[in-house]
């Protein structure tokens, strides 16, 4: 290091300037990158974007240079910095910049000391700069600009939203050669907030209900012009001087064709596509809530509902439609309420995260009640907004105290008391248990499995009642009963079945199982029961049932399977229990279907037959019905198929000649194809190709390429039907016959 | 070594006569006092020599070798060098489509006819069958160069619209190969093959339209990619005449009836409503009499669906008629619902009770379909169509020209009602197609493997009990009946311009495709290698030494005579 203090300060100043310039360059480059990538929103042209980015970078550079005052930086500024940062210089660094002649003796002495101090400090002087931070910022900016460049879609220069709402999959079609200039102005509906824009392409793609205005100027004198739409509707242009104008609103996709008359002939354009971008209904996504929620009275009765709402344009309203169900059976009552989301209070914008808390108590839910709700949302479409809703969500507050049964007047028996878990519920719970196996402790798993086993047992006992089985133990608790008590009980009574329902007598009697008490043989050994004549007891479990024999067999089978299901649940093997449960459910469903009661038909009472005439009629004239019909032929697109074959033939030909016959084939195919193009506007190019070939407009060079394109479109249009049987080919000539005969002979030998 | 000789065309005394004449002339000239004596004497001698030359035709003999080393496309130059080193007497020649090589002469047009026997070694891909045929003997050695690319291609006998078509072949190459089958609407199927010799491939496609189409087979090996034309002649679906005879209609039959009628098949259904009363249904077909079942009534149908109960109730006569109808080509599909015992008169199948009443069938996905609860004891006579593990679910046996089929499946209509129409269709279509009466196809066959090139011959065969006219694109082709096999005719046809062509007789026709000369080179090379290998009968590769007589041209003697005589005439005037 030079010991010349002035020289040292000058070097420090230069170093500082270098640091700052480097820092500013990095920052400016970063800014230029960001601006370059952001300008893609306005324009795709590279040169404009480079210019704008470069200007932004330059502006930033100049601004920061000015900010750091680098142009006017002098040594005194640095001296001031040294005095502030290094106290050991004793605020005398400015002496270094003054010639000795101008200093007093004392100042000279001080200067000497300062020089000595400065020389010691010089290697360690740290000048302020943000080089590291600037480098990181540059890296971030470059990364961001890459992201922007990749994902940004240009928007309208006028500040509107996307002009190209959907990229055209096909290249831009050239306008008819007779069109001198044209402008197509598209005005989307106001609610879309998309400003009017103009299209440079006759192929149009715009939002639903947009207004389209064609303004066309033709070459030469044109008398009149019109547009023919795919629905065979046509609209005439208004003529203003030599300019033709037509306006129309569209809500359906299709295609159109220009038609104009000059003084001599009528001209037709190609077909152009009209693609409508439908305004979709809002999308609703409810998070963190299962469709079925079951609460017990000790649970917190507040349910948080959060919904992600989104729409392609804007949302205007959303809410929760909640229905509270109270009571059961015929006493059930419903109350419907519309609840608003609490956050945000007002629904607007394209995407909203709405949420609210459903206070079940405030909604009046009590144990045993249920709440059904769904979320609905509306968008800003006018005049009729789009509405969408979610699936219905269920919240049930369980009533653990209720255990009474409700008689079903239809069946006369209570098949499914609601405090029992049904077989289906047990299956669902078993599957849930198996699903949660990895998450819960073994102890909990076993306990739940055991509980399910208990439920299975309860169900079995209940169904056992219908078979005449008596409960061997209580449903709720298993209480040990003393043998003394058992002795006192009538064993037959225990396993028998008492008529305890009055409604049983309303059932249709089963001939097979109908009891004829009068015909019962009298057992002399049997102790005379004085009450026997007055009671109607069914003591035999085999016959003491409400059901027919076949149903009884099924019910017995179901109970047996339930035993197995319970066994495995008790053994903490719910996976082995599940197949038995499914079998039980299947059997129960069959029983349910079989046990329907039908009322005997009444009415026709046939006259008595003469026995001697039975089976003696002459049936020779009685003939069975004969049906003769032809299956409906589906639209097999015969003209399109003919055009496809012709296209293939032309492609293979060394020279492609479009003769009048060929033209007619393509013309007929075009008529058939137009209905397809109407349903699928993306295929309108096929219609254009058919028209060009039918009119023999394509140049010799283009023909092959157009035929290849047409072949592909026509092929794709043909339906892909499933395989059907077909006669296979075989040759049954004399040689083969002889061969087969020889084989047969050799087989017999 | 050269030997001179004479082939006199005049008697020996003429020699003496000419000699005398020359001596006399010499003496006469010497006596003359004219100038240029030596010149005149020499002229007389030359005249004498020329006269002798005319009359006695002198010749000289040379020893030559006629062994030829013939180069064909794809030969390896290293092989040529080493072969020439071993056999220096061999003459190097090349075919017209072969690359130029130093010292290799191009063969003449009539080379194979005239000097074909001289060919001792062939290098490269070999010769076409027509060239080989022209060679008088095939005593040569063939050192082939195995071609790379598609070396074998197999076309299906018949490709039907809305049926999956298959293109099979074999690829050879020293690099990984990617094959892509491109149809009218784009890629149909593709396959990636590892490098190696003779790797088989199968590509599938689904034709939506009948007609003649050219698909493309894109072959990519390393950085090289090229396309070959694949001619596909798609036949239209051929509707069947189907007869259902059942005791009573079932849901299965009803669904099958709807499915078949929608696809334009002609159906006749007969259900029994009382002992002698039947209900009939005719779909897409006029009303016909089918009661009682006879050979005549069954001749109208391609396939008979019949249930076991109806089979049991047939009269003895009806049983005989049914069996005869089957022998003549009728297909019978027995709907197994009841116990199929006591049907030995119809088929030799053995049924055993089974505990299984369902079958797991894998179609587009796995299905469990109910079946009848018995199995069929497998025999060699059964052709399985559908199997579930070792269990035959559906299949058929051959009886004469006809087939009798069974299916254990029940309630397959559930597939259809559940929306799995394709799988339902697949379950039945294959079985029905295989069992139904076959249609007679063209009795014309091309015996030469594809490809056939313009102006190249290919062999065609016709089977016909009587003399028949064969037309190749409206040009009649002469047929030659086989010496050994009756009703078997051969012909040779020269392929026309690239594109589709047709061979046609009065009752049959066959389409074939002629590709351009620059396509399917690997396939052509593979065919030639195979043909040349088949033709070769190597006996000796050493060249024969032959002595060749070469006459001195008469023109020389004539000119000599003319100049000498002229000089004698001019000399006195000089």
Q: What is the pLDDT of residues A308-350, one digit of tens each?
A: 999 988 898 899 999 888 876 556 777 888 888 888 888 888 8
- How high is the pLDDT of residue A748? 65
> At CA A614, angle to CA A611 and CA A616, rounded to 5?
135
Measured between CA atoms, the residue of chain B closest to residue A742 is B400
Mean pLDDT along residues A4-9: 71
Give, in words, the CATH class of B67-147+524-543: alpha beta
Question: Taking the CB of residue B552, how many other CB atoms lie within 10 A of it?
Answer: 13
| Chain A nearest C-alpha distance from B216 (Å) | 12
- How high is the pLDDT of residue B500? 93
Second CATH level (architecture) for the domain A283-397: Sandwich (2.60)
- How high is the pLDDT of residue A582? 92
Q: Most B CBs within 10 Å: which of A633, A650, A725, as the mutation test of the B interface?
A: A725
DSSP alpha helix (H) spans, A496-545: none
Q: What is the DSSP letter of A470?
A: P
Pairs of CB atoms within 8 A across A/B: 165
Chain mean position to CA A41: 30
Q: Is A631–B280 a contact, with Cβ atoms under 8 angstroms apart?
A: no
| Chain A nearest C-alpha distance from B356 (Å) | 18
Tokens 């405030």 -> residue? A362
Q: Most B CBs within 10 Å: which of A626, A641, A651, A726, as the mutation test of the B interface?
A: A726
Q: What is the DSSP string of A333-353?
A: EEEEEEE--SBSSS--EEEEE
Which positions in chain B touch A734 (Cβ < 8 Å)? 463, 465, 486-487
- How high is the pLDDT of residue A496? 39
Second CATH level (architecture) for the domain B451-514: Sandwich (2.60)
Query: Does residue A344 have a cis bond before it (omega within 30 degrees)?
Result: yes
What does the radius of gyration of chain B's CA atoms come to, in whole angstroms?
Answer: 39
Measured between CA atoms, the residue of chain B closest to residue A622 is B277
- How high is the pLDDT of residue A631? 81
Q: Which residue from B303, B293, B243 is spatially nearest to B439, judged by alpha carbons?
A: B303
- Phi, psi (5° rounding) for residue A668? -65, -40
**Which helix (H) or strand (E) element contains residue A146?**
helix A131-151
Which of B213, B240, B440 is nearest residue A730 as measured by Cβ atoms?
A: B440
Residue A30 in 3-state DSSP? Answer: helix
Q: Is B433–A728 a contact, with Cβ atoms under 8 angstroms apart?
A: yes
Q: Most B CBs within 10 Å: which of A630, A708, A716, A724, as the mutation test of the B interface?
A: A724
**Residue A550 binned pLDDT confidence (cut-offs 50, 70, 90):** low
| Chain A nearest C-alpha distance from B400 (Å) | 7
Chain mean position to CA A47: 42
- Phi, psi (5° rounding) for residue B461? -130, 145
Q: What is the pLDDT of residues A197-211, one digit of tens each?
A: 888 888 888 888 888
- How high is the pLDDT of residue A620? 73
Q: What is the DSSP letter of A654?
A: S
Which of B429, B464, B497 is nearest residue A725 as measured by Cβ atoms?
A: B429
**Residue A175 binned pLDDT confidence (cut-offs 50, 70, 90):** low
- How high is the pLDDT of residue A115? 86
Tokens 């078979």 -> residue? A467
Position A510 pLDDT exceeds 70: no
Q: How many CA atoms lie within 13 A of A346 on its CB side?
A: 2
Which of B157, B281, B401 is nearest residue A729 as measured by Cβ atoms?
A: B157
Measured between CA atoms, the residue of chain B closest to residue A714 is B185
| Chain A nearest C-alpha distance from B145 (Å) | 33
Domain boundary assignment for chain A: 5-151, 179-277, 283-397, 412-475+493-499+538-597, 638-717
Measured between CA atoms, the residue of chain A closest to residue B497 is A654
Q: What is the DSSP letter of B371?
A: B
Position A248 pLDDT exceeds 90: no
- How high is the pLDDT of residue B66? 67
Which of B238, B240, B262 is nearest residue A631 as measured by Cβ atoms?
A: B262
Decide which of A594 and A462 is more confident: A462
Which of A630, A644, A725 is nearest residue B432 as measured by Cβ atoms?
A: A725
Tokens 């480059």 -> residue? A29
Which positions in chain B touch A723 (Cβ < 8 Å)? 162-164, 422, 425-426, 429-430
Which tokens is B122 given?
């062939």
- How high is the pLDDT of residue A407? 41
Which positions in chain B touch A722 (Cβ < 8 Å)? 162, 421-422, 425-426, 429
Same fold, A179-277 and A283-397: yes
Q: What does each C-alpha distance from B419 to B260, B416, B423, B425, B479 come to in angstroms? A: 16, 5, 9, 11, 54
Q: Tell me, which fold does domain A179-277 have in CATH?
A: Immunoglobulin-like (2.60.40)
Mean pLDDT along residues A458-475: 68
Position A289 pLDDT exceeds 70: yes
Position A583 pLDDT exceeds 60: yes
Residues A271 and A286: beta-carbon distance below 8 Å: no
DSSP alpha helix (H) spans, B270-394: 295-298, 308-313, 316-327
Which of A724, A728, A733 is nearest residue B443 as measured by Cβ atoms?
A: A733
Q: Is A624–B278 a contact, with Cβ atoms under 8 angstroms apart?
A: yes
Q: Is B329–A626 a contact, with Cβ atoms under 8 angstroms apart?
A: no
| Chain A nearest C-alpha distance from B214 (Å) | 8
Q: What does each C-alpha distance from B277 to A617, B271, B273, B539 come to in angstroms? A: 14, 9, 6, 81
Which positions in chain A touch B261 (Cβ < 8 Å)? 631
Rounded-to-integer distance, Cα B159 and Cα B153, Å? 15
Domain boundary assignment for chain B: 3-63+550-573, 67-147+524-543, 158-237, 241-435, 451-514
Which of B185, B433, B464 is nearest residue A726 as measured by Cβ atoms?
A: B433
Mean pLDDT (10-residue bins), chain B, 574 residues: 75 90 90 84 93 88 74 88 83 86 84 82 88 83 88 90 92 90 93 90 92 94 91 91 92 92 92 83 90 86 93 91 91 85 86 87 90 87 89 90 92 89 90 88 83 90 85 90 86 91 88 92 91 76 60 88 90 80
Which of B211, B437, B441 is nearest residue A731 as measured by Cβ atoms?
A: B441
**Which helix (H) or strand (E) element contains residue A584?**
helix A574-594
Position A460 pLDDT exceeds 90: no
Q: Is A631–B485 a contact, with Cβ atoms under 8 angstroms apart?
A: no
Q: Most A CBs within 10 Å: which of B162, B163, B164, B184, as the mutation test of the A interface?
A: B184
Q: Is A715–B208 a contact, with Cβ atoms under 8 angstroms apart?
A: yes
Rounded-to-integer distance, Cα A522 and Cα A529, Å? 12
- Secondary structure (H, E, C), B18-59: HHHHHHHHHHHHHHCCCCCHHHHHHHHHHHHHHHHHHHHCEE
Which positions in chain A touch B265 (Cβ < 8 Å)? 724-725
Decide which of B26 and A745 is more confident: B26
Q: Is B273–A718 a contact, with Cβ atoms under 8 angstroms apart?
A: no
**Residue A493 binned pLDDT confidence (cut-offs 50, 70, 90):** very low
* Biggest alpha carbon–alpha carbon distance for chain A: 164
Which positions in chain B touch A653 (Cβ < 8 Å)? 499
Second CATH level (architecture) for the domain B241-435: 3-Layer(aba) Sandwich (3.40)
Q: What is the pLDDT of residues A362-405, one digit of tens each?
A: 888 888 888 889 999 999 888 788 888 888 888 888 776 654 44
DSSP alpha helix (H) spans, B135-195: none
Same fold, B158-237 and B451-514: yes
Which tokens is B168 given?
């099979």
- How high is the pLDDT of residue A501? 40
- How high is the pLDDT of residue B154? 92
Q: Tell me, which fold does domain B158-237 have in CATH?
A: Immunoglobulin-like (2.60.40)
- How high is the pLDDT of residue B261? 92
- How high is the pLDDT of residue A507? 40
- How high is the pLDDT of residue A167? 37
**Residue A5 binned pLDDT confidence (cut-offs 50, 70, 90):** low
**Residue A587 binned pLDDT confidence (cut-offs 50, 70, 90):** confident
Helix axes A423-435, A442-466, angle to 10 degrees: 170
Question: What percentage of chain A has pLDDT greater than the value 70?
Answer: 77
- How high is the pLDDT of residue A526? 47
**Residue A84 binned pLDDT confidence (cut-offs 50, 70, 90):** confident
């Amino acid at each position: 290091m030079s010991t010349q203090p002035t020289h040292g300060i000058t070097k420090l100043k230069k170093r500082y300037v270098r640091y700052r310039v480097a820092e500013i360059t990095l920052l400016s480059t970063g800014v230029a990158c960001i601006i370059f990538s952001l300008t893609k929103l306005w324009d795709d042209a590279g040169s404009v974007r480079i210019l704008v980015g470069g200007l932004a970078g330059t502006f930033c550079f100049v601004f920061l240079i000015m900010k750091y005052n680098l142009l006017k930086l002098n040594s005194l500024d640095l001296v001031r910095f040294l005095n502030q940062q290094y106290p050991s210089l004793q605020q005398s660094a400015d002496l270094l910049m003054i010639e000795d002649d101008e200093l007093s003796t004392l100042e000279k002495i001080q200067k000497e000391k300062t020089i000595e101090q400065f020389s010691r400090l010089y290697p360690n002087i740290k000048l302020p700069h943000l080089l590291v931070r600037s480098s990181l910022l540059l890296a971030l900016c470059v990364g961001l600009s890459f992201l922007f460049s990749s994902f940004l879609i240009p928007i309208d220069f006028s500040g509107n939203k996307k002009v190209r709402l959907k990229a055209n999959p096909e290249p831009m079609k050239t306008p008819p050669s007779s069109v001198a200039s044209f402008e197509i102005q598209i005005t989307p509906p106001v609610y879309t907030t998309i400003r009017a824009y103009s299209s440079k392409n006759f192929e149009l793609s715009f939002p639903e209900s947009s207004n389209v205005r064609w303004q066309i100027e033709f070459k030469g004198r044109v008398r009149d012009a019109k547009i023919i739409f795919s629905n065979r509707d046509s609209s005439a242009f208004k003529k203003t001087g030599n300019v033709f104008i037509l306006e129309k609103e569209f809500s359906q996709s299709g295609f159109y064709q220009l038609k104009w008359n000059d003084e001599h002939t009528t001209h037709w354009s190609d077909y152009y596509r009209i693609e409508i971008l439908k305004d979709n209904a809002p999308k609703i996504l409810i998070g963190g809530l299962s469709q079925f929620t079951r609460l017990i009275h000790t649970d917190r009765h507040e349910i948080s509902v959060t919904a992600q709402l989104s729409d392609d344009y804007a949302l205007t309203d959303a809410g929760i439609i909640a229905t509270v169900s109270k009571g059961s059976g015929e006493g059930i009552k419903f109350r419907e309420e519309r609840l608003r989301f609490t956050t945000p209070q007002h629904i607007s914008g394209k995407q909203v995260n709405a949420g609210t808390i459903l206070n079940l108590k405030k909604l009046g839910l009590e144990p045993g009640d249920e709440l059904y709700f769904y979320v609905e949302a509306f968008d800003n479409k006018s005049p009729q907004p789009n509405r969408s809703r979610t699936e219905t969500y269920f919240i049930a507050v369980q009533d653990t105290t209720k255990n009474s049964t409700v008689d079903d007047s239809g069946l006369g028996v209570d098949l499914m008391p609601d405090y029992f878990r049904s077989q289906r519920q047990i299956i669902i719970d078993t599957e849930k248990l198996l699903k949660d196996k990895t998450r819960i402790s073994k102890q909990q798993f076993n306990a739940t499995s055991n509980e399910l086993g208990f439920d299975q047992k309860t169900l079995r006992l209940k169904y056992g009642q219908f078979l005449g089985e008596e409960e061997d133990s209580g449903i709720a608790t298993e209480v040990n009963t003393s043998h003394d008590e058992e002795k006192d009980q009538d064993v037959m009574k225990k396993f028998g079945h008492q008529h305890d329902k009055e409604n049983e007598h309303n059932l249709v009697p089963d001939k097979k199982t109908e009891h004829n008490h009068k015909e019962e043989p009298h057992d002399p050994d049997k102790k005379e029961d004085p009450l026997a004549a007055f009671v109607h007891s069914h003591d035999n479990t085999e016959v003491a049932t409400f059901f027919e024999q076949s149903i009884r067999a099924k019910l017995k089978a179901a109970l047996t399977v339930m035993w197995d299901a319970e066994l495995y649940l008790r053994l903490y093997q719910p996976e082995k229990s599940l197949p038995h449960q499914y079998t039980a459910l299947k059997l129960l469903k069959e029983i349910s279907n079989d046990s329907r009661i039908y009322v005997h038909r009444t009415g026709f009472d046939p006259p008595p037959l003469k026995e001697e005439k039975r089976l003696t009629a002459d049936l020779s004239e009685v003939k069975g019905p004969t049906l003769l019909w032809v299956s409906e032929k589906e639209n097999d697109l015969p003209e399109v198929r003919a055009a496809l074959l012709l296209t293939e033939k032309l492609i293979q030909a060394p020279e492609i000649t479009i003769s009048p016959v060929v033209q007619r084939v393509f013309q007929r195919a075009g008529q058939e194809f137009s209905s397809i193009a109407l349903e699928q506007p993306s295929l309108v190019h096929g219609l254009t190709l058919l028209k060009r070939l039918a009119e023999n407009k394509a140049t010799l060079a283009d023909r092959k390429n157009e035929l290849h394109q047409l072949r592909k479109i026509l092929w794709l249009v043909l339906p892909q039907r499933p395989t059907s049987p077909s006669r296979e080919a075989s040759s049954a000539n004399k040689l083969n016959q002889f061969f087969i005969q020889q084989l047969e002979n050799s087989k017999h030998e | 070594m050269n030997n001179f000789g004479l082939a006199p065309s005049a008697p020996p005394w003429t020699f003496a006569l000419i000699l005398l004449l020359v001596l006399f002339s010499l003496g006469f000239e010497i006596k003359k006092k004219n100038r240029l004596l030596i010149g005149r004497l020499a002229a007389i001698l030359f005249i004498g020599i020329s006269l002798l030359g005319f009359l006695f035709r002198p010749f000289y003999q040379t020893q030559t070798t006629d062994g030829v080393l013939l180069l064909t496309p794809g030969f390896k130059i290293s092989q040529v060098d080493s072969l020439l080193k071993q056999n220096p007497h061999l003459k190097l020649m090349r075919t017209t489509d072969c690359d130029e090589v130093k010292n290799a002469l191009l063969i003449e047009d009539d080379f194979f006819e005239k000097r074909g026997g001289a060919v001792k070694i062939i290098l490269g891909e070999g010769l076409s069958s027509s060239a080989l045929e022209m060679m008088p003997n095939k005593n040569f050695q063939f050192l082939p160069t195995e071609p790379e690319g598609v070396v074998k291609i197999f076309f299906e006998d018949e490709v039907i619209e809305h049926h999956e078509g298959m293109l099979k072949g074999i690829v050879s190459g020293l690099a990984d190969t990617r094959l892509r089958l491109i149809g009218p609407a784009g890629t149909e199927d593709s396959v990636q093959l590892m490098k190696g010799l003779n790797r088989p491939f199968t590509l599938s496609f689904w034709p939506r339209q009948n007609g003649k189409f050219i698909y493309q087979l894109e072959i990519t090996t390393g950085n090289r990619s090229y396309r070959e034309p694949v001619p596909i002649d798609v036949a239209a679906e051929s509707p069947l005449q189907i007869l259902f005879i059942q005791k009573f209609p079932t849901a299965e039959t009803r669904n099958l009836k709807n499915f078949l009628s929608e696809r334009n098949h002609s159906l006749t259904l007969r259900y029994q409503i009382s002992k002698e009363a039947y209900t009939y249904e005719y779909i897409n077909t006029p009303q016909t009499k089918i009661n009682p079942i006879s050979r005549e009534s069954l001749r109208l149908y391609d396939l008979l669906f019949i249930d076991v109960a109806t089979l049991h109730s047939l009269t003895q006569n009806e049983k005989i008629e049914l069996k005869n109808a089957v022998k003549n080509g009728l297909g019978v599909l027995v709907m197994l619902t009841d116990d199929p015992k006591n049907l030995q008169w119809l088929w030799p199948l053995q049924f055993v009770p089974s505990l299984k009443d369902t079958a797991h069938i894998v179609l587009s996905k796995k299905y469990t379909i109910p079946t009848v609860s018995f199995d069929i004891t497998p025999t060699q006579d059964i052709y399985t169509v559908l199997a579930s593990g070792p269990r035959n679910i559906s299949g058929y046996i051959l009886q004469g020209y006809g087939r009798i089929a069974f299916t254990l499946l029940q309630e397959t209509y559930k597939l259809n009602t559940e929306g799995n129409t394709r799988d339902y269709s697949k379950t039945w279509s294959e079985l029905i197609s295989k069992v139904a009466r076959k249609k007679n196809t063209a009795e014309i066959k091309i015996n030469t493997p594809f490809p056939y090139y313009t102006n190249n011959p290919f062999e065609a065969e016709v089977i016909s009990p009587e003399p028949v006219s064969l037309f190749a694109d409206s040009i009649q082709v002469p047929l030659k009946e086989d010496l050994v096999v009756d009703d078997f005719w051969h012909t040779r046809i020269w392929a026309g311009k690239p594109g589709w062509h047709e061979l046609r007789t009065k009752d049959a026709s066959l389409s074939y495709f002629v590709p351009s000369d620059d396509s399917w080179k690997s396939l052509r090379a593979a065919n030639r290698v195979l043909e040349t290998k088949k033709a070769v009968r190597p006996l000796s590769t050493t060249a024969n030494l032959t002595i060749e007589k070469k006459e001195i041209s008469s023109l020389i003697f004539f000119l000599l005579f003319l100049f000498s005589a002229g000089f004698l005439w001019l000399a006195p005037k000089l």
